[in-house]
């Protein structure tokens, strides 16, 4: 089953020609979206996706795929490039700004950008039907309606999303608003983005994707090098004061059970869709692929010279006996299964400074949904996620580009209760998989759930992705306002989505 060409991910001409073969229809229709002349943007950016090289290890640079960007109009700090990283620039905007983004595809493959977590019109959401071929540009125009928070962007070509994100294509999309600004949270160099991703590198420092073929597709791609902002062995020097840590799990498949190494509880202040009502203390926080949390991290009680780690603790899906620490291996995947413990990053308290801030006890106003708020409170829509015969299924159906089933049609302005179930266990899967379920276009609230890692979930705020461990189910409520059209919902283990665990819902 081992395929040498697959193994040499993105390296050399042979692999590059392999990447060209992704037979998706090219849509020119997508371009029509940019013809709206009445839209006058406050912010105009260009983003380009291109093959590139990054020095990650000593010796040979690593070939990656990367977003680069430029500010055409608006605050020049609206784009922030991370040093020596394959990640795309951090986009910073304010709520209610009108944004125009020109996406130029210079990859040897079709692609499209999706704004993960953003509430945008269907035509601006980066649906896989809107992929553009090499050399073309797609122009996005939308008003930023979301509240302040840590969102992100990544490619969404069907069947290739896992591959393209793994290659380096992802970036943060940070939104600020008036409610957040009043809090005077740690800002600038005290506001630190941390994108967590695992990668497998070969001896030539090149990324390896799905070295064991179908087995890796089933588990989702797992690497043995834990990268933070694109760097393995990430270290952070801090001073004795409070920081805002914005954490994105940008991994294809890895789940993190985050904790401080010295047992100090985590102080969580935000989730996928922005600030919580009030800070929540957690012994540990579980973060599935695509989920975000923000931490208030106060180092003022530590002496200068103190070192500390953010770790991921053991949890059950680890294959017993293989739950060892990260090692830089040949094929990676087997040395660090999901659930194995490892260090995420090291913190060194380097300088003494006097803290001037204290943690606000009220962060934001969130109107909590109750089950009765849903129009279908007595008849929740049921969605069952499971793998079968090497295919990802939702209610027994696999992804078709434009297909919408009867139970996937939603009325505009309705408030709905959805019950999401991970039924791998019920389907008798040999190795039941977690399924982090993500809805495009909407933030929702988790109103009820049953599951194993329960005390690590942060369900108090707005979410766009909810992790379901094998056998677990969750009930969510949201209202489908503003935009009609076709939106995706899918498992955010990217290989599961690529294997068809993805469907459309249609708002009419």
Stretch that binds Cu ion, among 15-23, 176-184, 395-403, 495-503 (CB under 5 A): 495-503
Residue 496 interacts, among ligand C2O, Cu ion, none and using kind-specific CB cut-offs from 5 to 8 Å, with Cu ion
- If you search the block for the tokens 């037979």, which residue do you land on? 23
For ligand C2O, the closer CB: 165 or 340: 165
Q: Taking CB under 5 A as the rule, does residue 154 contact Cu ion? A: no
For ligand C2O, the closer CB: 114 or 212: 114
Q: Is the dihedral of CA 10, 152, 464, 230 positive or negative?
A: positive
Q: Residue 91 in contact with residue 103, Cβ under 8 Å?
A: no
CA 503 to chain centre: 18
Helix (H) or strand (E) holding 310: strand 307-312
Pick one of 129, 199, 244, 496: the residue that binds Cu ion (CB under 5 A): 496
Q: Taking CB under 6 A as the rule, does residue 116 contact ligand C2O? A: yes
Q: Is the dihedral of CA 65, 390, 222, 2 positive or negative?
A: negative
Q: Taking CB under 6 A as the rule, does residue 154 contact ligand C2O? A: yes
- If you search the block for the tokens 């940019």, which residue do you land on? 34
For Cu ion, the closer CB: 132 or 499: 499
Stretch that binds Cu ion, among 25-33, 251-259, 393-401, 429-437 (CB under 5 A): 429-437
For ligand C2O, the closer CB: 125 or 294: 125
Pick one of 8, 122, 453, 491: the residue that binds Cu ion (CB under 5 A): 491
For ligand C2O, the closer CB: 242 or 394: 394
CA distance 10 to 206: 8
CA 353 to chain centre: 34
Instruction: For the CB of residue 114, give the shortest distance to ligand C2O in the complex, in Å.
Output: 5
Q: Taking CB under 6 A as the rule, does residue 129 contact ligand C2O? A: no
Q: Residue 201 in contact with residue 62, Cβ under 8 Å?
A: yes
The set of residues, in sequence order, having a beta carbon less than 8 Å from that of 508 and lying 6+ positions away, is 409, 410, 411, 412, 484
Q: Taking CB under 6 A as the rule, does residue 438 contact ligand C2O? A: yes
Q: Residue 449 in contact with residue 459, Cβ under 8 Å?
A: yes
For Cu ion, the closer CB: 291 or 298: 291
Instruction: For the CB of residue 198, give the shortest distance to Cu ion in the complex, in Å.
Output: 16
Stretch that binds Cu ion, among 134-142, 197-205, 303-311, 427-435 (CB under 5 A): 427-435
Closest CA to 487 of 446, 442, 421, 443: 442
The set of residues, in sequence order, having a beta carbon less than 8 Å from that of 242 and lying 6+ positions away, is 186, 190, 296, 297, 298, 299, 300, 355, 357, 358, 359
Stretch that binds Cu ion, among 13-21, 29-37, 114-122, 168-176 (CB under 5 A): 114-122
Collapse the DSSP code of 385 into the 3-class scheme (helix H, G, I; strand E, B; otherwise coil) and give the result.
Answer: strand
Stretch that binds Cu ion, among 53-61, 62-70, 167-175, 439-447 (CB under 5 A): 439-447
Strand ordering across the sheet containing 435-439: 409-410, 502-507, 485-491, 435-439, 465-468
Stretch that binds Cu ion, among 145-153, 253-261, 370-378, 438-446 (CB under 5 A): 438-446
Q: Taking CB under 5 A as the rule, does residue 199 contact Cu ion? A: no
Closest CA to 222 of 76, 327, 97: 327
Binding footprint of ligand C2O, residue count (CB under 6 A): 10
For Cu ion, the closer CB: 186 or 317: 317
Q: Residue 95 in contact with residue 149, Cβ under 8 Å?
A: no
Binding track, positions 70-109, relative to Cu ion; x by CB under 5 A: ----------------------------------------
Binding track, positions 276-315, relative to ligand C2O; x by CB under 6 A: --------------x-------------------------
For ligand C2O, the closer CB: 8 or 287: 287
Pick one of 116, 241, 246, 292: the residue that binds Cu ion (CB under 5 A): 116
Helix (H) or strand (E) holding 178: helix 178-181
The set of residues, in sequence order, having a beta carbon less than 8 Å from that of 235 and lying 6+ positions away, is 345, 346, 347, 348
The set of residues, in sequence order, having a beta carbon less than 8 Å from that of 179 and lying 6+ positions away, is 147, 148, 275, 364, 365
Q: What is the token pair recorded at 88?
A: 């795309």
Q: Taking CB under 6 A as the rule, does residue 503 contact ligand C2O? A: no
Residues that bind ligand C2O (CB under 6 A): 114, 116, 154, 156, 290, 438, 440, 488, 490, 492
Residues that bind Cu ion (CB under 5 A): 116, 435, 440, 491, 493, 496
């Amino acid at each position: 089953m081992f395929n040498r060409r697959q193994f040499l991910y993105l390296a050399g001409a042979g692999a590059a020609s392999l990447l060209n073969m992704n037979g998706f229809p090219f849509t020119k229709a997508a371009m029509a979206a940019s013809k709206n002349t009445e839209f006058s943007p406050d912010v105009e950016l260009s983003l380009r996706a291109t093959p590139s090289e990054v020095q990650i290890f000593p010796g040979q640079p690593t070939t990656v795929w990367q977003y680069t960007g430029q500010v055409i109009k608006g605050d020049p700090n609206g784009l922030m490039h991370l040093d020596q990283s394959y990640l795309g620039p951090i986009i910073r905007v304010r709520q209610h700004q009108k944004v125009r983004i020109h996406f130029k595809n210079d990859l040897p493959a079709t692609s499209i950008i999706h704004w993960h977590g953003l509430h945008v019109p269907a035509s601006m959401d980066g649906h896989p039907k809107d992929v553009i071929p090499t050399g073309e540009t797609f122009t996005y125009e939308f008003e930023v309606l979301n509240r302040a928070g840590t969102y992100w962007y990544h490619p969404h070509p069907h069947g290739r999303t896992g591959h393209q994100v793994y290659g380096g294509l992802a970036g943060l999309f940070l939104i600020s608003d008036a409610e957040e600004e009043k809090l005077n949270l740690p800002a600038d160099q005290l506001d630190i983005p941390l994108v967590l991703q695992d990668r497998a590198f070969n001896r030539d420092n090149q990324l390896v994707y799905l070295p064991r073929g179908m087995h890796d597709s089933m588990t989702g791609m797992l690497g043995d090098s834990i990268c933070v902002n694109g760097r393995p062995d990430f270290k952070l020097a801090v001073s004795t004061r409070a920081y805002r840590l914005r954490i994105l799990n940008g991994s294809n498949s890895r789940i993190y059970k985050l904790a401080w190494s010295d047992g100090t509880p985590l102080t969580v202040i935000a989730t996928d869709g922005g600030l919580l009502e009030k800070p929540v203390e957690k012994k540990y926080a579980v973060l599935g692929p695509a989920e975000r949390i923000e931490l208030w991290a106060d180092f003022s009680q530590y002496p200068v010279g103190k070192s500390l780690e953010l770790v991921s603790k053991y949890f059950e899906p680890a294959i017993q006996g293989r739950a060892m620490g990260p090692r830089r291996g040949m094929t990676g995947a087997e040395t660090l299964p999901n659930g194995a413990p490892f260090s995420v990053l090291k913190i060194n308290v380097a300088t003494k400074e006097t803290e001037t801030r204290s943690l606000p006890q009220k962060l934001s106003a969130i109107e909590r949904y109750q089950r009765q708020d849903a129009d279908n409170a007595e008849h929740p829509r049921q969605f069952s996620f499971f793998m079968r015969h090497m295919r990802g299924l939702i209610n027994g159906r696999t992804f078709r580009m434009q297909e919408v089933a009867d139970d996937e049609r939603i009325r505009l302005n309705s408030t709905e209760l959805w019950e999401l179930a991970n039924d791998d266990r019920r389907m008798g899967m040999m190795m039941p998989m977690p399924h982090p379920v993500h809805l495009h276009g909407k933030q929702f609230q988790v109103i009820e759930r049953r599951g194993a890692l329960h005390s690590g979930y942060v369900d108090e705020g707005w979410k766009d992705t909810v992790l379901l461990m094998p056998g677990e189910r969750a009930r969510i409520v949201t209202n489908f306002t503003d935009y009609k059209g076709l939106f995706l919902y899918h498992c955010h283990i990217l290989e599961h989505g690529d294997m068809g665990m993805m469907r459309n819902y249609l708002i009419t």
